[in-house]
């Protein structure tokens, strides 16, 4: 026991001494073995003392709560891509230092919308529906400004996509969009859509209705229904929007940037550690904590901070209370936690 406390004390002393410097320099240092085992408040204190790039916060959520929002690591791979699904060419556009899809396509409401996936590992379906919604608006010149249904993808893609609330392959969601189409959807209990989100936000959130606490286990994957909610004006099949392509981007920073600024946000999957789950603000760089699982999010832009550190700008699906009003920044250009190695997108048929 004394040895454990001595090791932790040494970690905190070392963290205070090593706090300054660039992200590149920080990443060149190995993470101490003891830091991998930190959790809860000890992890938050250590992370905030060791580096200045991002801040974590104390939360009532447990590691089990965090894992309920993640997917199995197996879904971080790209399954059975054919040649047509590999986007190998680089678009010939000049890349600005900073870019934000919310500003370029300000007419598209979905790009500014943060969803709440609740106690279900549906990130792969939620971030896919978000990105499909954005691109549908962008490529229809704002004429189709709707949200598409994560529930439709989550419940109806079946084992082709994965295991529902336990995870799925993002690229398969885009293939489903091409073959079967996706109806309109959005938040839990939303009225003017075909299929609102299946699960209520759990726990207390600022400026949001309290529906109850999170269950001990993840929500079961909802059953697929071929109909819209009662009172919705349109037929399920008539409500659908289809995709016309699905593809994976190369692990190439510039290729991802050009794709975003030309065609809209993209979907990215990466590995999550506990320090990310406790992220509050800044440019995330993995510092301590155990691996918790895979996650999928929407990349909407990039930038450079005042110290010259490059980052991706991403929308999460853990409610707008989390992070920077639902968004986060993560170090760019080094495939940190795999953020650049499993990027997918597609084009809508509009």
Q: CA nearest 202: which of 194, 193, 192, 211?
A: 211
| Structure confidence at residue 110 (pLDDT) | 98
Directed axis angle between helix 123-139 and helix 253-263, to 10°? 50
Task: State yes or no: is 82 an active-site residue.
Answer: no
Q: Are strands 195-197 and 185-188 parallel, antiparallel or unpaired?
A: parallel
Q: What is the pLDDT of residues 321-340, one digit of tens each?
A: 999 999 999 999 999 999 99
Mean pLDDT to the nearest integer, 113-133? 98
Task: Spot the catalytic one: 316, 319, 336, 337.
Answer: 316
Task: Spot the catalytic one: 123, 156, 183, 228.
Answer: 123
| Structure confidence at residue 115 (pLDDT) | 97
Residues 134/264, Cβ–Cβ less than 8 Å: yes
Task: State yes or no: is 123 an active-site residue.
Answer: yes
Task: State yes or no: is 36 an active-site residue.
Answer: no
| Structure confidence at residue 207 (pLDDT) | 65
Q: Could you name the CATH architecture of 19-348?
A: Alpha-Beta Complex (3.90)
Mean pLDDT to the nearest integer, 265-284? 98
Task: Spot the catalytic one: 66, 286, 295, 336.
Answer: 295
Q: In this model, does residue 285 exceed pLDDT 80?
A: yes
Cα R_g (the chain), whole angstroms:
20
Q: What is the pLDDT of residues 180-199, one digit of tens each?
A: 999 999 999 999 999 999 99
Q: In this model, does residue 7 exceed pLDDT 70?
A: no
| Structure confidence at residue 213 (pLDDT) | 82
């Amino acid at each position: 026991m004394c040895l454990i406390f001595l090791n932790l004390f040494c970690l905190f002393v070392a963290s205070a001494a090593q706090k300054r410097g660039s992200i590149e320099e920080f990443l060149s240092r190995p993470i101490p073995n003891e830091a991998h085992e930190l959790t809860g408040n000890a992890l938050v204190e250590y992370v905030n003392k060791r580096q200045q790039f991002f801040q974590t916060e104390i939360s009532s959520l447990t590691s089990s709560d965090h894992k309920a929002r993640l997917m199995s690591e197996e879904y971080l791979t790209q399954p059975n891509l054919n040649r047509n699904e590999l986007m190998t060419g680089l678009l010939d556009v000049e890349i600005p230092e900073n870019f934000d899809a919310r500003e370029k396509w300000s007419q598209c409401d979905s790009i500014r919308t943060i969803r709440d996936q609740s106690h279900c590992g549906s990130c792969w379906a939620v971030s896919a529906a978000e990105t499909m919604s954005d691109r549908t608006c962008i490529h229809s010149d704002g004429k189709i400004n709707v949200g598409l249904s994560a529930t439709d993808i989550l419940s109806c893609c079946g084992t082709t996509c994965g295991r529902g609330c336990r995870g799925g392959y993002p690229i398969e969601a885009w293939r489903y969009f091409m073959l079967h189409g996706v109806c309109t959807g959005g938040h839990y209990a939303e009225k003017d859509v075909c299929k609102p989100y299946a699960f209520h936000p759990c726990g207390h959130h600022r400026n949001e209705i309290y529906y109850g606490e999170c269950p001990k286990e993840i929500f079961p994957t909802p059953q697929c229904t071929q109909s819209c909610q009662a009172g919705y004006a349109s037929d399920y099949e008539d409500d659908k929007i289809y995709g016309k392509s699905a593809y994976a981007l190369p692990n190439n920073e510039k290729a991802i940037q050009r794709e975003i600024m030309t065609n809209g946000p993209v979907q990215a999957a990466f590995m999550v550690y506990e320090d990310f789950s406790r992220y509050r603000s800044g440019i995330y760089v993995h510092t301590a904590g155990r691996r918790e699982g895979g996650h999928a999010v929407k990349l909407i832009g990039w930038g450079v901070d005042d110290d010259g550190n490059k980052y991706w700008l991403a929308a999460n699906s853990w409610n707008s209370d989390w992070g920077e009003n639902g968004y986060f920044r993560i170090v760019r250009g080094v495939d940190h936690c795999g953020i650049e190695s499993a990027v997918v997108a597609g084009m809508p048929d509009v």
